[in-house]
Each structure stands twice: as C-alpha cells, then as structure tokens.
Structure 1
Amino acid sequence: MRNLNLDQLQTLIAIADLGTLAAAAQALHLSAPTVSLHVSELESRLGVTLVHRGRHQTRLTPAGSQLVSSGRRLLKQVEDDVDKVRRFAAGAEGKVRLGASAGVIANFLPDVLETLARRKPGIELELDVLGSRETMHALDAGILDIGIVALPQKTERQVEVSTWRSDPMVAFLPLDWDAPELVTPEWLAQRALISIKNGTQMHRLTAAWFGKAGFQPRVRVELGFPVAIKGLVAAGYGAAILPLERSDDAALHAKMQLRALSPSLVRHMGIVHRHLEPHDVAIREVLRALEEFSEAAIPTGK
C-alpha cells in the first residue's frame, strides 16, 4: 500500500470540520472534483468507506472518524517539524518542549522564560502541564525534550537525570490552631488533613513520613493543586504538608501558620532529558537557564 497523502488527510479533516465536500473545497481552494478524488483515493488505499455522501450533508463513518483523529495528530507533528526546519533556516534556535507540574510552571518557569527571552529570543519553550510520572512517559515516548520531576524516578537508558533543587516540606496550618514549634507525625495525624493527590511522588513522600512514625492518618480531602490546598488551609478547613518553594505567596501565607517538621522532610526535584546530539543547541540553552535557577533548600522559618 502506498503511503498516505497529507493533502488528502487535510481534505478529510476539512470535510469533518465543515460538514460538506463543497465547503471543504471552498476552504481549501480546491475544486469539488479534486476533493471527491482525495476521499476516493484514501478509501481505495485503506479499503474502507470513510465518508457517507448525502445530498445536503456529508457524514464520516466510524473508520473515517478514527482516521481524522489520527490525522490531526500526524499533521500537527508535521507542522511542528516544518516549523523547526524553518526556524533553523532563519537562524533561530528552535522549539523546546518541556513538561512540569502546574506548581513548578507557576513558581519557577517565569524567571526561566524571562532569561531565555533576553538571552535567546529565538527559542520557543512549549510548556505542558504534567505530573512527574506523565512527564517521564512523555520523555520516553519522545514527546518532550525536557522534564522537571520529583525525585526519585525510574528512568530508561536514553534519559539523563540531574538534581535541580531541594525544597523543605513544611506544615501549613490554620491561623487559629494552637500549634507547637515543630510539628510531628503524631501531632498532625490527630488533626484534619488536606493531602496532595494520591499517586504523586509528593503524596508518597508525605505518606512515608507518617508511616515511619507508625501513623496512617485519615485525609479529609485530596486535591491536585497546592494553591487550592493552601486556600483551604487559610479557610481553616485543615492542615497540609507542602514544599516551601518561594516567598511570592506572602499574602496567602499571612493567613496561615507555617511550621517546620520533625523529623524534617525534603522534596527533591530533578531535570530529566534525553541524550543530546550536537545539533540540540536550543535544548542545551534551556538546560543552562534552568540550572541558573537551581537552589539548595530554603530556610524553613515560621
């Protein structure tokens, strides 16, 4: 079977979006017979009916819908590749795809983006909001170039990992609670708890902190976003253990108490990327910028 024709795929997608062959022909600046021929050749190559042709409307078959779905992804990849070639030809450094959690993107990436924009304006950093496990899978699949993940992580041989930063985990408590200077697992296990979503590295880290002390506390609610958790803590709904990442949340932190943990707990984060080739200039520049914003643990404080 001959390879699929991208123009014919684009025609089928236009039919799916616009509803008729005539509308697709007008949008693509093609003649109606050409559009019909594109569909017929696709059907001939695949040996299936892709389109039910009606007098006033065209309807995709299940096979046609599946091909449209796959075709969108294929055309997006082709567009990305063509864009990358054009950017290199124009002297730009290219596009770098980075995956990280929403918290990391909100707290740390703005400074990195500012640095890149000033130093290498031709680099386009495409961000994808993903958990650590999803980021690792995307790297293994070649969907991402760089990931920022919680450590440790199981890695494939083609992925390189380096420690990026270490942030202390602290207890975020409602303002009206009578809290000790150091919060222990025993003390916190007896209070209402708000937890980060189960299945994340941070959840496993916190559970292990309680488990080593012999406690398995009941959690009042699990959420996927630290900012939402902090909002509930500030409202007096319960306590949470989260990393102390930076001081930008001073207004929100003023509505809570922050206490160090005993024993102490640290969330380690790493940078992961595939093995680099000599032509991966843009990826190296992004890694360089990320390294400039790596930090040791922040003093805990109250």
Structure 2
Amino acid sequence: MRALDIDQLRTFVAICDYGSLSAAAPHLCLSTSAVSEQMGKLEQRLSQSLLTRGKTGATPTAHGRRLLRHARDLLALSEAAVRDLTGESLEGEVCLALTDYFRPASVTQLLQRLRVDYPGLRLNVMVAKSAWIDASEPSPEFDIGLAMRLAPTRPASAGESTLLRRERLFWVGADRNAGRERPLPVLALPAGCALQALTVRTLERHRVSYRLAHSASGVTGLQLAVAAGLGVACLNESSIGPGLVRLGTASGLPPMQEVEFHLLPPRRGEAPVVSKVRDTLRELFR
C-alpha cells in the first residue's frame, strides 16, 4: 500500500485550520492552484472526498475529520523525528498561559509529547481566562500566552499573534429538547468571559428570552453542568465532549460566529528557549 504524502497532509491540515484554500496558501508558501492540486491528489489517493467547498470556505467532510486526527499526529511525529536526528534540544524553564477552551481533549497529550521530546525542558502550564492572558501581555507571570478571541473582521497584520486554528461555536445541551425552554436557562463562565458576553449579546439581539442559570469556574465545570441538564451553553467545537448534544435550528436558538485561537506574539529580547518552545507549540497545536 502506497504511503500518504506528508506535504499533502500538511496542506490538508492548513486548509482545515485557516478555513479555505486561499487562506491556507500563503502560510504554505504555495499558490492557491498548487494547494488545490495537492488536495486533489490526496483525495484521489484515498478515494474519498475530504473537503466540502463553498462560498464561505472549506470544511472537512466526515472522512476528512477522521483523517484530520491522523494527519495532526503524523505531522507532529515528523517534526519530532527531524528534531531528534538533527540534535535539536530544548533546555530551561518556560511558563505557558493557556485558555481552557483550547482543545481540552487533546492538549494534555500534546504537552506530554513535548515533555517526552525535550526531557530537559521544564514546562509550567497555567490555565487562565483569555481576557486576562491578552490583557496581561507582556507579563512576568508567563512567557507564552495562548488565548481565544472572537473571529476578527480584518486579516491579521505582520508582527501580530499567530493564528493556530479557527472553530465554530455551537449551542449544546443534555438532549435535543434542552434549548426549547423559555426563558432559556443559560450556563456560562463568569462575567469577563468574552464568550459569555457574546452569548448574551446574541440572545438579546435575536430577542430570545433567557436567564443566567449557572456560572461555572471553568470549561470542565461548564461541560458537567450541561451534561447534568442544568441548561444550555455555547461552546467551541473541540470543547463539546461526551454527553453533550449540539442543538439545531429547531430549538429556536440563533447561529453563533467563529472563534480563533492565537499564540501571542514574541516579546522583545525574550530568551532563545522561549522562542523555540513557541515555534514547537505552534507546530504541535496546529
């Protein structure tokens, strides 16, 4: 059986992360036509349609989502092999401030892989609200920040933060009837959370009667409250864990926009080990 092409997998992952072929092209240093050609070869190799293309961009199909998990793992292993054989090492102590909305099901595995690849690296991780991470930059409390932001209306400029991935927001409940109660019992993080503010603004704009039924201290608590049937919440795609049901238009809930996850930009004069860890995290987390 012929193996998968690592460059084609990298192209596929970039399209999923940036939302379209044209948006992924500059990050891959390829033309849009070259990106399309690579995707055509990958789909032909697997005899499967991997992307749904439309006016608003490209999203992975069911087969594409299955491949995406394997592709991320294979790319990370490829990078680890290069670092191992070229003798690159990381030593020192680095503190990472991380929003708990970011890929909660897999971030632990990614950090464990980093520790295995670089046993001389002491990586301290703190979970914090995105608003605090953004407002505290630069901060002596952490070296690298990873925050969630509402999708911008303009493209990022040179020197700004690094976009890692973009995800859709969904209403979720314990079952498919959860979103039909009025006033709608809303579960959210405390005031100051950008997603809580967006949820309230969206409901008020669409004139949906609601009440704040429960305030959780973190995403894990929010997931447990939803699964227990205390109400509904708005979560990014990778935060929708077992026991949570996505609520459709039949619930009368308004559509939600996308969110983006960013690595904050490098600081002037930061230690070389911090810069290397940021580059490594960018590849692993993508």
State the TM-score, normalizing by the size of structure 1: 0.53
Measured after TM superposition, the shift of residue 203 of structure 1 is: 1.0
Distance 1:126 1:160, change over 3 A: farther
Taking the TM superposition and a 5 Å limit, the aligned residue runs for 1:289-300 are 289-295=280-286
Partner of 1:200: 193
- Say which SS state the counterpart of residue 203 (structure 1) adopts: helix
- Say which SS state the counterpart of residue 142 (structure 1) adopts: coil
Q: Give the gaps of 5 or more residues in structure 2.
A: 1-88, 152-158
- Amino acid paired to 1:169: L
Distance 1:102 1:161, change over 3 A: same
Question: Is the 1:100–1:128 contact (alpha carbons within 8 Å) kept by the matching residues of 2?
Answer: yes
- Amino acid paired to 2:238: E
Distance 1:112 1:134, change over 3 A: same
Distance 1:212 1:188, change over 3 A: farther
Question: Is the 2:138–2:267 contact (alpha carbons within 8 Å) kept by the matching residues of 1?
Answer: no
Measured after TM superposition, the shift of residue 199 of structure 1 is: 0.9
- Say which SS state the counterpart of residue 124 (structure 2) adopts: strand
Partner of 1:123: 121
- Once the two structures are superposed, residues 167-216 of structure 1 have per-residue CA deviations (whole angstroms, 9 ceiling, x without a partner) of 221121122x536xxx7xxx576432212222111112222322332346
Question: Is the 1:99–1:127 contact (alpha carbons within 8 Å) kept by the matching residues of 2?
Answer: yes
- Amino acid paired to 1:195: A
Distance 1:139 1:292, change over 3 A: same
Partner of 2:177: 178
2:277 is the alignment partner of 1:286:
yes
- Amino acid paired to 1:122: G
- Aligned-partner Cα distance in 2 for 1:264–1:135: 23
Which one of 233, 237, 246 corresponds to residue 258 of structure 1?
A: 246
Measured after TM superposition, the shift of residue 275 of structure 1 is: 2.3
Q: Give the gaps of 5 or more residues in structure 1.
A: 1-90, 154-158, 296-302
Question: Is the 2:150–2:259 contact (alpha carbons within 8 Å) kept by the matching residues of 1?
Answer: no
Distance 1:281 1:118, change over 3 A: farther
Question: Is the 2:170–2:247 contact (alpha carbons within 8 Å) kept by the matching residues of 1?
Answer: yes
Stretch deviating more after TM superposition (192-201 or 109-118): 109-118
Question: Is the 1:92–1:123 contact (alpha carbons within 8 Å) kept by the matching residues of 2?
Answer: yes
Between structure 1 and structure 2, the one with the greater Rg is: 1
Measured after TM superposition, the shift of residue 139 of structure 1 is: 2.8
- Aligned-partner Cα distance in 2 for 1:174–1:286: 39
Partner of 2:219: 226
- Aligned-partner Cα distance in 2 for 1:168–1:105: 13
Distance 1:168 1:222, change over 3 A: same
Taking the TM superposition and a 5 Å limit, the aligned residue runs for 1:152-171 are 160-171=160-171
- Say which SS state the counterpart of residue 137 (structure 2) adopts: helix
Distance 1:142 1:244, change over 3 A: same
- Say which SS state the counterpart of residue 161 (structure 2) adopts: strand
Question: Is the 1:112–1:289 contact (alpha carbons within 8 Å) kept by the matching residues of 2?
Answer: no
Question: Is the 1:160–1:275 contact (alpha carbons within 8 Å) kept by the matching residues of 2?
Answer: no
- Amino acid paired to 1:259: L
- Once the two structures are superposed, residues 62-91 of structure 1 have per-residue CA deviations (whole angstroms, 9 ceiling, x without a partner) of xxxxxxxxxxxxxxxxxxxxxxxxxxxxx8
2:258 is the alignment partner of 1:270:
no
Distance 1:105 1:172, change over 3 A: closer
- Aligned-partner Cα distance in 2 for 1:160–1:102: 22
- Say which SS state the counterpart of residue 143 (structure 1) adopts: coil
- Amino acid paired to 1:163: L
Of all paired residues, the percent bearing the same amino acid is 18
Partner of 1:87: none
Question: Is the 1:145–1:273 contact (alpha carbons within 8 Å) kept by the matching residues of 2?
Answer: no
RMSD: 3.2
Which one of 124, 131, 134 corresponds to residue 132 of structure 2?
A: 134
- Say which SS state the counterpart of residue 164 (structure 1) adopts: strand
- Say which SS state the counterpart of residue 166 (structure 2) adopts: strand
Question: Is the 1:107–1:245 contact (alpha carbons within 8 Å) kept by the matching residues of 2?
Answer: yes
Measured after TM superposition, the shift of residue 244 of structure 1 is: 2.0
